[in-house]
Structure 1
Amino acid sequence: MAAQEPSPPSSLEGNKPGFPKKILANKLEDKHLCNICLKILRRPFQAQCGHRFCSYCFNKAVSSGPQKCSACIKEDIFEEPTSILKQGCAFPDNAAKREVEALEAVCINEECSWTGTIKEYEANHEGKCDFRILPCPSCKELLRANELERHNERECPERTLNCKYCKEPFHFKNIKAHDEICPKYPMICEGCAKKKIPREKYVDHIKLCTKFRTPCRFHVVGCDMMVEKEKIHDHEQACSYEHLNLLLHFIMGIKVNLECLQPQSLELLKMGQLSGAGAPVQGACALLPPPPLHSEKTKVAELSRRCQELELKVSTFENIVCVLNREMERSATTMEAYNRQHRLDQDKIEILNNKVRQLERTVGLRDLSIVEMEGKMREMSAATYDGVFVWKISDFSKKRQDAVAGRAPAMFSPAFYTSKYGYKMCLRIYLNGDGTGRGTHLSLFFVVMRGHSDALLKWPFNQKVSVINF
């Protein structure tokens, strides 16, 4: 008989579920499927109930605690504790692993012509296929692996480039925006046509460039000529008559506007405007006669009356604003009190929620402990401690039919011991045979299990085992 020692990993071994069904070149058999992810087994483990799982799927399922075997429930053969999945109760199924790894496979990626076995696919092709679809790390577009490098270098809108002028990095999609602010970007002077002037030096250049066209100094009064700096003096001499005419119209417009002001400030404003207008027209403006005052008095009286009316309205509005301010202060005080009480209530609710969650966790842990204790009691009641174990298989015909159909190919016996502190063992039986004996024989395996007293025992296990069939 074969002796097998369980060694399920305590942490997740591998980080992938099963292989996709499409990689098989031949017909798929149900025995090669994981009962959790429903894909082709990857590093298969077999539980006590006989169902097989991927190592990753099994460890992920039991990482949060013991779980009921969904396959047993689906097949209506659920039986405690055999159908409970938990750490330490599953064994690497090397026979199934060899069968799966020897299956003929093809690459599932479009246009890839690779063929081989599943073992070769996992080791040499799965993560290296040039036709596998990968997301671009920058723009998240899905591309083939052999196109990703070219995409990152030439096509990705999120790719990073270095400016050829200032050497600063920027995204390709922002290339125009960067050109607008790049301090080293080459500019062309509109005056002297000099090229390749860095933007950071362009302002200094146009300050000194004699060919750069600037507005005439009389543009504020209407001259719209753009003149080269070196020709401004010639322009002012040639257009002095036009400039004086524009300046006269500008001053007359100011005079008309001044008529709407009080007589006392009229003379001061007139003097200020004339003094800022330039020396060439001071003599002409000084000869203007003072405006009539009878119309100004009427306007001043009207303005005074309107000011008094506005002062009365302002006083009324000030009283209304004071009342509203007091109401707002009272409302703010009341709202602050409500907010304080709300915060206190929220704190109490949070404390109570934490207590409820803590109690729920405590109840859950106790329920789990009760289930484990019940399982241990059932194991202890069925266990023997003299090395002799009689295994009676009830309803043999139905269980053999399930094994032939592949629903439950294997069964495990309750654990038994050579002595109270001796080796822990069990039997595993394939009612329809296993390996080369499948379909023709009944296969029985003797399994040495992990026990509490293993540190006190002699290893490796080297004892005589006798199996008698009644």
Structure 2
Amino acid sequence: MAEKATRVSPDGPVSTPDENEFPFGYPTSICETVPDHKYLCSSCNNVLKKAQQTLCGHRYCSACLLWIVRNNKNPICQKCNVDDPGTTNEDRLLTEERAFSDAAINKEISEFKVHCGTPGCNWSGIMKNFEDHQSLCEYALILCHTGCGHMVMRKKLADHLENGCVNNMTTCQKCKRRLSSNEYQKHTCEGNSSKDQKQTQPEGPSKEKNHSTPSNTKDGCRFSEIGCSFRGSKEKTKEHEKTAMGTHLLMLLQHIKQLKAGLCPRGGATNGMIPHLATAEAKVKGLERRVSDLQIQGALEVSGDLEVDCIPGTSVCEEESILQQFVREKVITELENKLHVFENIVAVLNKEVETSKLEIAAFRRQSGLDQDIIQSLEVKITELHRCLTQKDAGLSKLHTRLQSFEQASYDGVFLWKITDVSRKYHDSVTGRVISLYSPAFYTAKYGYKVCLRIYLNGDGTGKGTHVSLFFVVMKGEYDALLPWPFKHKVTFMMLDQNNREHVIDAFRPDLTSASFQRPASDMNVASGCPMFLPLCKLQSPKYAYVKEDTLFLKCIIETNS
């Protein structure tokens, strides 16, 4: 069973479930909402983990892509084969060099709201914290590190190591019984002492150690001395030590308990050490007394440049004077050395100050040059902005003319489509926009230029009760060649969009009216039908003059009359 629990794959050691819970993508079941198709791996169909995008545009988990490339000769994108199986393209070839990390998708996936899928765990958060939780989840099933083959909850691992792990046993050297850690702490037998006991190593890992790969290709975990059997490359070992922190702490706690049990197994051994501690303490106190006897009795008080014995009734002897003189000379020498050091420091600082001044002056000169460049660039930007404004105005005029040309008619028949009728009617009632002008149209290619003007809330005698529609003669390019006044018959039509009952009205121009003379300004005064259509009829559901908030007006000018 130990062999099964610690089997090694061709690419490296198999990690325990908590270290690499989802190597080929995250299951969609942990997501709070169903993820979009673009977040799923084209191979495992799970949520992408370390997404890689290929040249054909499909995405794979980093581990999935690596597995496909290493286990297939000339691998082809699986998604491309499904979407278009009959086509061959070089971009479909999958290699590690032809794929790149999709940072945008990885960032979006890291913000997914997820929850722990382990039964009993209520954790929820975002995807970027999910793996950290997996390495610490107390409800996750993990493989016992001693190689016994048992899968236990992380929070029950310590209890398993103390009571149930067959490989975590200690042998009593007196009675030769193999006991669990919990039983060993309570075990007593005659003559048993801490020196006669040692903990047996787990059998499963020791058997496999003889068959492990050479140490120059795989490194062991730093916690191997307390029972961790993980071995792998430096990168995988670092990742293992980071993710299996909770397991290592439990192992360390168990190891400390075992050391404690080995050092102080019974109260008798502790009592036997007390005389030795007492003897050592007595020796320390004796040494302290001998040192205190060697200390000089009295003290010297320094006042200015003189030193006076503070013990009254004694005189300064010659030896003490020589000693004081020696101490004074030594102090003066040390002060002179320090002064010399300080003088050197000041000299160095002065040089640095001079250098700094030169650098500041150079920076100021460069700053002045930069300011001049910035000002010249600002002037150029202002000129460019003015040119862009002029060109925008010219483009706007050209756009307006092009739009008018596109909507213009040159045969005397014009169809006007008015949208957003309800809003424009409301604007007319409130006085915000009381009338609307149609685009200009022509009676012929070189004929009269005219347009229509409509009042949705009426004008003059029809104000508030009727729709008013007027005809406007505009100033055109060929007015000098046309006969005046304008005298062609004009017919207005409001079209029923169900083709049942169109509203039709016609009139002939009053040749004496200024509305039909040659325009002196952009357009003449409008003339037409102030009571063209009652508003009640326009708004009635029996008619379809307004349908989907749109109405159509038609104007026909009889140019052959």
- TM-score class, shorter-chain normalisation, is 0.3 to 0.5
Higher strand share: 2
TM-score (norm 2): 0.27
State the structure with bigger RCO (CA 8 A, min sep 6), 1 or 2.
Answer: 1
